Amino acid sequence: MPLLILGLVLFLGTLADLLLFGGCLAWAVADIISLKRREPLPTPGAPAGRWNDLIALTGGLTVYVAFLLVLHRWLIGVPPIG
């Protein structure tokens, strides 16, 4: 991310862009430094099992089909198929 922001600052070059993207660059660098100094917290997770994959797959496919058939037209106004 810092390389993208630095590229934008160098490419655009106006004062407004320098202030906006320079602030984002400073924030990204400070965030990276802070992340490297922190102790990693244990991440709780679901116990391992076959059902977790099935639940994730079913949920993902349900959301995908709902977006494809109904939500895309409702949110964006253009049907993706048909």
- The residue extents of the domains of the chain are 1-40, 48-82
Residue 12 is predicted with a pLDDT of 79
Residue 15 has pLDDT above 90, yes or no: no
Give the pLDDT confidence of 20-66 residue by residue, as tens digits: 877 888 998 999 999 999 998 888 887 888 888 899 999 999 999 99
Q: 36, 9 in Cβ contact below 8 A?
A: no
Residue 18 has pLDDT above 70, yes or no: yes
Residue 46 is predicted with a pLDDT of 75
**Burial track 18-39 (b if 16+ CB lie within 10 A, e otherwise):** eeebeebbeebeeeeeeeeeee
| CA distances (Å), origin 10, targets 21, 24, 69 | 10, 14, 43
pTM of the model: 0.47
